[in-house]
Amino acid sequence: MNFPLSFWDISLWLAVTAIILLITSELISSYYGKTNILINKKRLKNAALITGILFLITVAIRIYGIITLP
Amino acid sequence: MSKAKKETTAQSSHKAPAVFTIKISPIRLLSFFMLTLGLIALAISIVYASSILAFIGLGLTFWGTLTLYITTEKYVKQTLLDPSIMPSLANLDRILTELEYQGKGIYLPPNYFKDLETSKVYIPKKKDANVPKPEEIQQKADKTFLKNPEAALVIPPGSSLLKLFEKTLGKSFTKANLEYLQQNLPRLFIEDLEIAENLEIQMKPAILAQKVADSVSAIQFKNDTIYVKITNSLYDSVCKEARSLKHICGSIGCPICSAIACAIAKASGKPVTIEKTESTEDGKVIEAYYRIIEE
């Protein structure tokens, strides 16, 4: 009974989710005028940034792996 | 039946039955449903080693948690804003008109009061009255109507908004300067509080102001002018309606103009007047000119 997703699968999933969230948070930003979406935009922005950072961490791990591999 | 007994019976009849009621909004319910479904899918994916189920589970868990996290704040309709503000502004205008106060409102800085967080506006009775000295006000700060010289010391319409600005920014304006306001107020208005679509603050130093105003008095030559342009604010209809109130629009200012005046007075540590306010026909663009008075 193992978790069926590998580290790279999760990295890809994080990338797709981060892109969706970052684009959404940018589109509903108050700087482009008022929108009628009643959600906490600050929290959405934070969630998008955190997901993006998590993806970048997985990329960093991958690069570290490639460099240190004999 | 005695009076006390009757009261107890009356009170107990109004008591709600002791039943626990949990109010869950449909969005929260949907979020919990997604979260639960996601966790179940993840568990099944481990048992059957299915990567598709794992992706579905991961997605549902993530979006369920996210929708719980970014739930709405409490919002009120904008139409409720105007009726709740206008009567108090109209009242203030009526009092000042009936008492024949003709002076321009002067926003006093914190050094005029014992409590440094106080914001008050000084309205002299005569048109060309001088700015009072801090010692004069400190002694009578708790009074509304002052004598020798006759003046009114009132809480400005924007004082609560100012406190909200400070709370949101996490810094008292007494510890800030004008550059701090210029940098942070636009972000506060547009992004944090969503009061306006755009806010522009321009400082016009004394030398520039001198060139602009040729026929102004010698006192005005020394003073700095601050120009503020607010685009599409929540208070546009309040500002539009307040135009008919002589003491509000030209002297004390509508809540938003008043809050900015309070902020400038606090940050500069000098008395401030609202020189002029202009707005477009539809009230979408408000332009205000503030003058910092050198003591």
Whether residue B22 lies within 8 A of chain A, CB to CB, comes out as no
Q: Is residue B90 part of a domain?
A: yes
Percent of chain A scoring above 70 in pLDDT? 94
- Runs of H (alpha helix) within chain B: 3-14, 26-48, 51-69, 81-98, 134-140, 159-169, 178-187, 206-212, 218-222, 236-242, 246-247, 255-268
Question: What is d(CA B99, CA B185) in angstroms, rounded to the nearest whole number?
Answer: 36
How close, in Å, is residue B191 to chain A by CA atoms?
6
Whether residue B39 lies within 8 A of chain A, CB to CB, comes out as no
Q: Does A4 contact B66 at a Cβ distance shorter than 8 Å?
A: no
pLDDT at B132: 84
Position of tokens 């609202």? Answer: B274
Q: How many domains does chain B have?
A: 2
Q: Is residue B264 part of a domain?
A: yes
Whole-angstrom CA distances from B5 to B44, B170, B231 are 63, 52, 62
What radius of gyration do chain B's Cα atoms show?
27
Q: Looking at the structure, do residues B86 and B218 belong to the same domain, yes or no? A: yes
Position of tokens 């961490």? Answer: A57
Whether residue B71 lies within 8 A of chain A, CB to CB, comes out as yes
Whole-angstrom CA distances from B120 to B45, B138, B144 are 65, 12, 10
**pLDDT above 90 for A16:** yes
Q: Is residue B174 part of a domain?
A: yes
Q: Looking at the structure, do residues B252 and B272 belong to the same domain, yes or no? A: yes
Check: CB of residue B123 under 8 Å from CB of residue B103.
yes
Mean pLDDT score, A39-60: 93
pLDDT at A12: 94
Check: CB of residue B107 under 8 Å from CB of residue B270.
no
How close, in Å, is residue A68 to chain B by CA atoms?
29
Residue of B60, B65, B66 best to disrupt the A interface, most CBs of A under 10 A = B66
Q: Looking at the structure, do residues B50 and B168 belong to the same domain, yes or no? A: no
Which positions in chain A have a beta carbon within 8 angstroms of at least one beta carbon in chain B?
Answer: 1-5, 9-10, 13, 17, 29-31, 33-34, 38-40, 42-44, 47
Q: What are phi and psi of B73, to 5 degrees?
A: -85, 175
Q: Is residue B284 part of a domain?
A: yes
Whole-angstrom CA distances from B142 to B145, B146, B153 are 9, 10, 9
Q: Which of A17-21, A49-53, B77-81, B211-215 has the lowest mean pLDDT?
A: B211-215
Q: Is residue B244 part of a domain?
A: yes
Please choose, from the candidates B271, B267, B274, B262, the residue with its C-alpha nearest in 3D space to the C-alpha of residue B294. B271
Q: Is residue B136 part of a domain?
A: no
Question: What is d(CA A26, CA A35) in angstroms, rounded to the nearest whole number?
Answer: 12
Q: Looking at the structure, do residues B201 and B259 belong to the same domain, yes or no? A: yes
Q: Which residues of B touch A30 (CB under 8 A)?
A: 190-191, 194, 197
Q: Does A30 contact B54 at a Cβ distance shorter than 8 Å?
A: no
How close, in Å, is residue A45 to chain B by CA atoms?
10
**Higher-confidence residue: B222 or A4?**
A4
Q: So what's the ipTM on this one?
A: 0.87
Taking the alpha carbons at both ends of chain A, their separation in whole angstroms is 31
Q: Looking at the structure, do residues B49 and B172 belong to the same domain, yes or no? A: no
Q: Is residue B238 part of a domain?
A: yes
Q: Which domain holds residue B97?
A: 78-102+157-292
Question: What is d(CA B57, CA B36) in angstroms, rounded to the nearest whole number?
Answer: 9
Position of tokens 């210029």? Answer: B182
pLDDT at B63: 93
Question: What is d(CA B266, CA B117) in angstroms, rounded to the nearest whole number?
Answer: 9
Q: Is residue B30 part of a domain?
A: yes
From the list B45, B194, B232, the residue facing A4 with the nearest CB is B45
pLDDT at B221: 41
Intervals of chain B under pLDDT 50: 1, 8-13, 207-222
Q: Looking at the structure, do residues B202 and B235 belong to the same domain, yes or no? A: yes
Q: Looking at the structure, do residues B254 and B228 belong to the same domain, yes or no? A: yes
pTM of the complete model: 0.75
Q: Which residues contact B143 (CB under 8 A, 6 or more apart)?
A: B153
Q: In terms of DSSP bridges, do strands B151-154 and B198-204 run parallel, antiparallel, or are they unpaired? A: unpaired
Q: Looking at the structure, do residues B210 and B267 belong to the same domain, yes or no? A: yes
Check: CB of residue B157 under 8 Å from CB of residue B132.
no
Q: Looking at the structure, do residues B228 and B261 belong to the same domain, yes or no? A: yes
Q: Looking at the structure, do residues B183 and B61 belong to the same domain, yes or no? A: no
